[in-house]
Amino acid sequence: MRLLVIAVLSFFIAGCASPQLRGTGDLGLIIERATGQVTLVNTTSKSAYARIGGLGDLSHASAVYSRDGRYAFVFGRDGGLTKIDLLEARIVKRIIQSGNAIGGSISQDGRIVVAQNYTPGGIKAFDAETLELLSEVPTEYAPGKFSKVVGLADAPGNVFAYALFEGGEIWVSDFSDPRHPATTRFPAGNQPYDGLVTPDGRYYLAGLFGEDGIALVDLWQLEKGSRKILENYGRGQEKLPVFKMPHLRGWSLAQGKAYLPAIGRHEVLVVDATTWKEIGRIPVRGQPVFVMARPDGRQVWVNFAFPDNGKVDVIDTLAGKVVRAFEPGKGILHLEFAPRGENVWLSARDDNKVIIVDTTSFKTLGEIAADNPSGIFFTSRAHRTGF
Amino acid sequence: MYPNKLIVGALVTAAAANALAADPSPERQKELVRLVRQDCGSCHGMTLAGGLGSPLLPANLKDKPVEGLVSTILLGRPGTAMPPWDRFLNEAEVRWMVDKLLTEFPR
């Protein structure tokens, strides 16, 4: 009997194990925004291994990861929040949490997923395990007036910082008690468009669209309030039209400096990340959208708003200037570095593919077919604050 | 910056009558649909249900005067994030787009 049990068990185990064990550290997903799909990819084999549909309107969709890198939480424009299992390549759960959403974030301990919403304006916190609603913070900045939320980012201590587009404020919500968040408000400036938390979790920056400058809060010293940096960087000059809003995230920090997109100027602003004073500007070939440091900080890659969205400029942070300017594809919407940055994946929306480029030789290493690809998100984000 | 602003402004008010006669070519119409869905879509949403920019579905636009919509697209709206598109679009193209937005925008 015992032998039989062992025989049956070993057969069963062998059967189960046949899809082979695999880790999650080199996985990721590509948003295919027009068709409501994501393509799952492996960054070691540089290939796609599954495609999942039924995610709704993925305009401007983004994703965050559970601590183990197994689950992706995809935030769609239609308020959809979809939890995907990257190992089993399936949707675990999907809810519609608002009317119109813009992204989300996950807490330091990985237990709270927070969505940021345009309609109704505010943020909502969900249990990462079940997607049960835990609490919400409506962004009623004046009686009866609700603001769209932009720039939501996680910070240590299950804190989330975000900015109010119409409200012109930065809010910092502490979810130590996930069902009863405590919120502190700070003035920001005219029309914050996005925000970032520095990789050490200390500073929150909100970029301003309606005026030259960036609002900054020291999350270690909330009592000091907010302040403006880079005020009047345009010095009253007429702004160039901005055909797409830039994005900010913790990837802007490299080698003790922040590399930030100017608004209405074809420049990357360089700021000392301890004094927060401007220390330089680098001319580039369009309105920057993503200004993204390679994980080691040696390079900063820049893509651009329409009509320059076929161009990519690469800044060498040692030289302080663009060292490579090229046109890798049509409609470059987003880029994502391999976890240690030896290659970068660029979505070429109008070529229906993702292009993988070596960051040393700039040679194309491969391509992955994708339908109107936009965001690319690798599981290495799971372990980075502010991603 | 935009020397053609005044001229376009004049066209906006004057050329309504012959706009219909000058519908963009079928190829151009395809480009315009893609531009609206993809590039206008980066603020207004690919389904035009709104985002940082206002929703552009027929129900949202039906009470707005056509001339205002045309000039908003061509000249932008100062003080907001809406830029002027007159570098890329002529008035007939914008009128065609507005007409489609007010009825049913092609996929």
CB contacts of A191 in chain B (<8 Å) are 81
Look at B83 and A243 and tell me if their CB atoms are within 8 Å: yes
Is-contact A325 A302, C-beta < 8 A?
Answer: no
- Between A and B, how many CB-CB pairs are < 8 A? 63
Confidence of residue A360 (pLDDT cuts 50, 70, 90): very high
As a whole number, mean pLDDT of residues A98-113 equals 96
Instruction: Count other Cβ atoms within 10 Å, centred on residue A212.
Output: 23
Which ipTM was obtained for this model?
0.86
Q: Measuring CA to CA, how many Å separate A239 from each of A293, A326, B5, B79?
A: 26, 25, 16, 12
Look at B49 and A57 and tell me if their CB atoms are within 8 Å: yes
Look at B41 and A349 and tell me if their CB atoms are within 8 Å: no
Contacts of B87-93 spanning 24+ positions with Cβ under 8 A:
B87/A241, B88/A307, B88/B35, B89/B32, B91/B8, B91/B11, B91/B12, B91/B15, B91/B19, B92/B15, B92/B19, B92/B22, B92/B23, B92/B24, B93/B24, B93/B28, B93/B32
> Cis ω on the peptide bond leading into residue A120 (within 30° of 0)?
yes
Look at B39 and A306 and tell me if their CB atoms are within 8 Å: yes
pLDDT at residue A5 above 80?
no
In a mutagenesis test of the B interface, which of A31, A35, A59, A194 is the best target, namely the one with the most B β-carbons within 10 Å?
A59
Average pLDDT over chain A reads 94
pLDDT at residue B9, rounded to an integer: 47
Look at A242 and B50 and tell me if their CB atoms are within 8 Å: no
Nearest to A77 among B1, B38, B45 (CB): B45
Q: Which domains does chain B have, with CATH numbers?
A: 5-13+24-102 (1.10.760.10)
DSSP-derived 3-state class of residue A149: strand
Confidence of residue B2 (pLDDT cuts 50, 70, 90): very low
pLDDT at residue A2, rounded to an integer: 54
pLDDT at residue A200 above 80?
yes
| A374-A377-A383 Cα angle (round to 5) | 160
Confidence of residue B21 (pLDDT cuts 50, 70, 90): low
Q: Is any Cβ of chain B less than 8 angstroms from the Cβ of A353? A: no
Look at B50 and A100 and tell me if their CB atoms are within 8 Å: yes
As a whole number, mean pLDDT of residues A183-211 equals 97
Nearest to A100 among B42, B49, B81 (CB): B49
Chain A residues 246-305 within an 8 A CB cutoff of chain B: none
Nearest to A59 among B41, B79, B83 (CB): B41
Chain A residues 25-54 within an 8 A CB cutoff of chain B: 33-34
Q: pLDDT of B24-55, one tens digit each?
A: 999 999 999 999 999 999 999 999 999 999 99
CB contacts of B45 in chain A (<8 Å) are 57, 59-60, 77, 100
| C-alpha to C-alpha distance for A27 and A44, rounded to whole angstroms | 8
Distance from the B104 Cα atom to the nearest Cα atom in chain A, whole angstroms:
18
As a whole number, mean pLDDT of residues A255-272 equals 96
As a whole number, mean pLDDT of residues A342-350 equals 97
CB contacts of A244 in chain B (<8 Å) are 39, 42-43
Nearest to B45 among A59, A148, A349 (CB): A59
- Please choose, from the candidates A179, A176, A172, the residue with its C-alpha nearest in 3D space to the C-alpha of residue A107: A176
Confidence of residue A276 (pLDDT cuts 50, 70, 90): very high
A149-155 and A159-164 beta bridge pairing = antiparallel
Look at A118 and B46 and tell me if their CB atoms are within 8 Å: no
pLDDT at residue B15, rounded to an integer: 46
Q: Count the alpha carbons within 13 Å of A171 in the hemisphere toward its beta carbon.
A: 27
Look at B46 and A244 and tell me if their CB atoms are within 8 Å: no
Q: Count the alpha carbons within 13 Å of A374 in the hemisphere toward its beta carbon.
A: 21
CB contacts of A148 in chain B (<8 Å) are 52
CB contacts of B42 in chain A (<8 Å) are 59-60, 244-245, 306
Nearest to A57 among B42, B47, B52 (CB): B47
A-chain residue closest to B77, CA distance: A241
Q: pLDDT of A132-160, one tens digit each?
A: 999 999 999 999 999 999 999 999 999 99
Instruction: Count other Cβ atoms within 10 Å, centred on residue B101.
Output: 19
Q: pLDDT of A216-238, one tens digit each?
A: 999 999 999 999 999 988 777 88
Q: Is any Cβ of chain B less than 8 angstroms from the Cβ of A77? A: yes
pLDDT at residue B20 above 90?
no
Nearest to A349 among B38, B83, B88 (CB): B38
CB contacts of A77 in chain B (<8 Å) are 45-47, 49, 51
Helix ranges, chain A (H): 2-17
pTM of the model: 0.91
pLDDT at residue A294 above 90?
yes
CB contacts of B43 in chain A (<8 Å) are 244-245
pLDDT at residue B64 above 50?
yes
Look at A244 and B43 and tell me if their CB atoms are within 8 Å: yes
CB contacts of B46 in chain A (<8 Å) are 33-34, 57, 59, 77
* C-alpha dihedral sign at B11, B13, B18, B21: positive
pLDDT at residue B13, rounded to an integer: 47
Q: pLDDT of A300-309, one tens digit each?
A: 999 999 999 9
pLDDT at residue A372, rounded to an integer: 95
pLDDT at residue B44, rounded to an integer: 95
| C-alpha to C-alpha distance for A40 and A18, rounded to whole angstroms | 20
pLDDT at residue B31, rounded to an integer: 96
pLDDT at residue B3 above 50?
no
